[in-house]
Amino acid sequence: MSCENVERDLDAYVDHELDPDGATAVRDHLSGCAACRRRVAEREALGRLVRSAPYYPAPDRLRARVSARTTRSTSVRRLVTWAAAAVLVVSVGGGIALMRSTATRGDAMVNEVVNGHVRSLMADHLFDVRSTDQHTVKPWFLGKLDFSPPVVDLASIGFPLVGGRLDYLGGRPVAALVYQRQQHTINVFVSPERDGAFAAIDVRLVRGFHIHHWIRDGMSFWAVSDLNDAELTEFARALQAS
Amino acid sequence: MPPRLFEETVLPHLDAAFNYARWLTRNDADAEDVVQDACVRAMRFFSSLRDDDARPWLFAIVRNTWYSRVSRRPSLTEATPLDSARDQRPDDALDPEERLLQRHTVARVRAALEQLPVDFREVIVLREIEGLSYKEIAAVVRVPIGTVMSRLARARERLLAVLKPATRMETLP
């Protein structure tokens, strides 16, 4: 691969948007070309620099105004939903409850994972223990849970661990590990896998949040974030391999 | 699945929406107006969201809202797309106070970003600050992925040209 070709793919390479073959070709070229390595380093440094630019969170005034509007429209919508539900109950009676199965339990769990994530962001209760040190976060869970969650920092690949907290999912206490990627928060919920009910669930997009689920060494992991799918996949793979 | 609720689906992305709008408009008051209008639209179109990712969806609405406001008020210079006059402004043209501010890296980065033409600025903000994929950016901006790539490349070249002389890129945090 020539420098010219690499230059064309430089941005896509830095942004992890090349297919695996393309990325390998660029990496091979970089190992023997200092000039292109410098170009990559420059772009990566620029990325860090740009991320140091101010992030403008929504002013409280705006949040209050928008919330006030949604509460109004939601109460109308809820009324309509309830009315529809009432009609449904009258027509099919209690039959619906029988249709609940492990599949819908999986859906319910996915929903709880997203709720847990949103709650942690909205209620401003992201951390019980705030630390980037895995050796501080891991012992913190001792005595608070009847299991010991594996805790690894992934700062080396751009996903620093920033803390942890206790949370509840499916009526059980779980360890929530919090990672950061640029402005995005990733929650990883860890608990012992008890009945294998959710083993089949892999990647989901629910209410605009990406979710990965996997089981390893008897532990169930749920990673959830508003991060894009490619980067959350990279994160989940790294965590699975750690 | 219970019905998706607007406040659970869209409101968590309010900060991101405001950040994007703030970089588009470059001032707080306009960004607030844009996001408020965008949220009203988002509520109206909420049923069209289905299982799609809510954040890029909201960005697209913010962007459309902003563009429709700009087209109603074409005289606003800071809202003009491809605002190359500001982009070319040499440092010498800055007054002493602005020059002082520029010594600070963050202020310099902000200035460099704000001086980019809006078409370049938004792809940089969506990629570097909001972490969107090329595909998501293409959907928000409504251009082909190839255009996203070339805008990103050109935006980065401009930023490097502006920021490199004063800062050694390799030694940055």
| Domains observed in chain B | 1-80 (1.10.1740), 81-173 (1.10.10.10)
Q: Side chain identity at A144, as an amino acid letter?
A: K
B121/chain A closest Cα distance in angstroms:
11
- What mean pLDDT do residues A105-127 have? 78
Q: Is the pLDDT of residue A235 over 90?
A: yes
* Rounded-to-integer distance, Cα A137 and Cα A66, Å: 37
The pLDDT score that the predictor gives to residue A95 is 41
Pairing state of beta strands A172-181 and A219-225? unpaired
pLDDT for the residue numbered A2: 86
Strand partners, B77: none
CB contact under 8 A, B159 and A50: yes
How far is the alpha carbon of A195 from chain B, nearest alpha carbon, in Å? 22
Q: Is the four-CA dihedral B39, B41, B47, B51 of positive or negative sign?
A: negative
Average pLDDT over residues A145-168: 90
Average pLDDT, chain A: 80
Q: pTM for this one?
A: 0.59
Does residue A180 carry a pLDDT above 80? Answer: yes
Burial A137-154 (b: 16+ CB within 10 A, else e): bbebbeeebeeebebbbb
Cα–Cα distances (Å) from A170 to A110, A208, A218, A242, in that order, read: 10, 21, 17, 26
User: A37-41, A166-170, B153-157 — which is least confidently predicted?
Assistant: A166-170
- When comparing pLDDT for B102 and A191, which is higher? A191
Q: Is A65 on the interface with B (CB under 8 A)?
A: yes
Query: Phi and psi for A206 in degrees, rounded to 5?
Result: -130, 125
Averaged pLDDT, A127-136: 81
pLDDT confidence band for A26 (50 / 70 / 90): very high
Q: What is the largest CA-CA distance in chain B?
A: 60
Residue B116 per-residue DSSP state: S
Q: Are A141 and A128 in contact (CB under 8 A)?
A: no
Give the count of beta carbons closer than 10 Å to the beta carbon of residue A190: 24
Tell me what the mean pLDDT of segment A213-241 comes to.
89
A14-23, A82-91, B145-154: the lowest-pLDDT one = A82-91
Residues facing A188 on adjacent strands: A177, A223
**pLDDT at residue B28, as a whole number:** 92
Task: Write down the pLDDT at residue A80.
Answer: 55
A202 interfacial to chain B (CB closer than 8 Å): no
Measure the CA–CA gap between A87 and A189, rounded to whole angstroms: 38
Q: Does A226 touch chain B (CB under 8 A)?
A: yes
Band of residue A98 on the pLDDT scale cut at 50, 70, 90: very low
Parts of chain B with a pLDDT under 70: 1-4, 51, 73-104, 165-173
In chain B, positions 55-74, which contact chain A (CB-CB < 8 Å)? 55, 57
Of residues A153 and A78, more confidently modeled = A153
A12 membership: H or E segment, kind and range = helix A3-14
Weakest-pLDDT range from A85-89, A130-134, B30-34, B69-73: A85-89
pLDDT of residue A104: 56
Q: What angle do helix axes B14-25 and B54-72 make, rounded to 10 degrees?
A: 30
Could you count the other beta carbons within 10 Å of the beta carbon of residue A214?
A: 19
The answer to whether residue B159 neighbours chain A at the CB level (below 8 Å) is yes
Report pLDDT for A126. 77
Nearest CA in chain A to B159: A46
Query: Per DSSP, what are the bridge partners of residue A212?
Result: A203, A223
pLDDT (0 to 100) of residue B145 = 93
Please count the other Cβ atoms lying within 10 Å of the Cβ belonging to residue B51.
12
Q: B106 contacts in A (CB within 8 Å)?
A: 52-54
A193 in B contact zone (CB under 8 Å): no
Residue with more model confidence, A4 or A81? A4
A186: CB partners within 8 A, 6+ apart: A159, A178, A179, A180, A223, A224, A225, A227, A232, A235
- pLDDT above 90 for A90: no
Q: What is the pLDDT of residue B130?
A: 87
- The beta-carbon neighbor of A227 closest among B17, B22, B131 is B131
Whether A120 has a pLDDT exceeding 60, the answer reads: yes
CB contact under 8 A, A208 and B53: yes
Question: Which range (A4-8, A87-91, A111-115, A145-149) has the least confidence?
Answer: A87-91
- Greater pLDDT, B31 or A169: B31
pLDDT band at A241 (very low <50, low <70, confident <90, very high): confident
Indicate the residue of B4, B153, B160 with minimum beta-carbon distance to A42. Answer: B160
pLDDT of res. B25: 94
